[in-house]
Amino acid sequence: MRRQLFSCILLICILSACSGLPTGQQPATPQATTVQKAPHATPTHKGPKTLRDLADARHIHIGAAVNLDALQHDHDYSRVLSDEFNAVTPETAMKFDALQPQPGDYTFQQADAFVNYAHQHGMVPRGHTLVWYSALPPWLQNGSYSRDQLMYILKDYITKVVTHYKGQINVWDVVNEAVDDDTGQLSDSIWLRGIGPDYIDMAFRWAHEANPQAQLFYNDYGTEWSSKKFDGVYSLLQGLIQRGVPINGVGMQMHMHTQFYPDNATVLQNMQRFADLGLKIDITEMDVLTSETKVDMPTTLKIQADIYGTVVKDCLQIKVCQSIVFWGFTDRYTWVHSDLHRDSDQPLIFDKDYRHKPAYDAIVQALKTP
């Protein structure tokens, strides 16, 4: 599906006759990347303000998806992560295949290590993600279950996981990517096939029962465009709210590409339409892919910086948007290499040697803008 995500972005581009730069400016040759101290250097207290300093000052969360293997084996990764961010999302450690690899056998060790790291560094952990069509263990993906059995499995899972982290995790991506990119209808999954469309209502209600204090989100990609996808997600959320389902917010993943991205008026309009439903908006998985660029890399990195800076400014402009999470933070570790097999892509805000890219500087400027 990650490939579909990428091809979805490509498809949207072709269909929507993508616009120019978000800011409408011609790409200028970016300033030389700010040369950072050698990665091993630990920023002194008097060093330049980090993203975390700037976000704390604005009382917003700025975070990154965490690759647990890198966290446990790459000291620079851990240092930069805690220096620069005040929020973290587990990239894979809290998915169904990680937490219940065998029926009834809950394995929380890795996810607990993630939560402990977050709390040790004063960072807000996000629960990602309870219900998805992907990252399912073979016993579930390939099993044959009645509706009642599948409901039991899902309720047991949500209840045990949310209860396990009660008091430690207070924001959950309850349902992830349940709307079809092209039709705007509910997308195929074992949950839809086995339980029916009300699996989504059930998931939110079970999560709320397990932790009434938790903020519960629906999370998806492609909702920054004027598209059937956006309309489908909007309609889903409207229905949940009308049925009194306990939902607090929507995660806009913001997986973007330097060659095609929506005009900024559409991004803002969609954010405002979600906000007008009474929902919080979190930017949950932002990255800006660079592969297959048609211009030179310095120009590509400038376009990337414009996109990052524009989306951060958009979030700051929408009162109920108070969290911006990037899907990773260094080009050394990105799903785009491992999952999309685009090894030359540079989608994130630090390069593979933990040096700031123009995107980092654009985010700093956006966070400094009153």
User: Taking the C-alpha atoms of 100, 187, 203 and 135 in order, what is their torsion angle to the nearest 10 degrees?
Assistant: 20
Stretch that binds ligand G3I, among 17-25, 153-161, 269-277, 331-339 (CB under 6 A): 331-339
Residue 101 found at the interface with ligand G3I (CB under 6 A): no
Residue among 370, 360, 369 nearest 52 (CA) = 360
Known catalytic residue at 84: no
Residue 2 found at the interface with ligand G3I (CB under 6 A): yes
Task: Go through 8-27 and write b for each residue having 16 or more CB atoms within 10 A of its CB, e for each that does not.
Answer: bbebbbeebeeeebbeeeeb
Q: What is the x/- site pattern for ligand G3I, positions 115-134, by CB under 6 A?
A: -------------------x
Cβ closer to ligand G3I: 335 or 354? 335
Cβ closer to ligand G3I: 281 or 367? 281
Residue 135 found at the interface with ligand G3I (CB under 6 A): yes
Of 84, 177, 209, 292, which one is the catalytic site residue? 177
Distance CA(225)–CA(214), nearest Å, equals 29
Residue 291 found at the interface with ligand G3I (CB under 6 A): no
Residue nearest to ligand G3I (CB): 335
Distance CA(119)–CA(81), nearest Å, equals 13
Known catalytic residue at 91: no
Longest Cα–Cα distance of the chain, Å, equals: 61
Helix (H) / strand (E) containing 151: helix 147-164
Stretch that binds ligand G3I, among 45-53, 148-156, 232-240, 332-340 (CB under 6 A): 332-340
Stretch that binds ligand G3I, among 39-47, 74-82, 188-196, 335-343 (CB under 6 A): 335-343
What is the residue whose two structure tokens read 């040369």? Answer: 35
Distance CA(48)–CA(364), nearest Å, equals 11
Give the total of residues touching ligand G3I (CB under 6 A).
13
Of 84, 91, 224, 285, which one is the catalytic site residue? 285
Q: Are strands 61-66 and 87-90 parallel, antiparallel or unpaired?
A: parallel
**Token pair belonging to 228:** 């059937």
**Binding residues vs ligand G3I (CB under 6 A):** 2, 5, 91-92, 95, 134-135, 176, 253, 285, 335, 338-339
Catalytic residue IDs: 177, 285
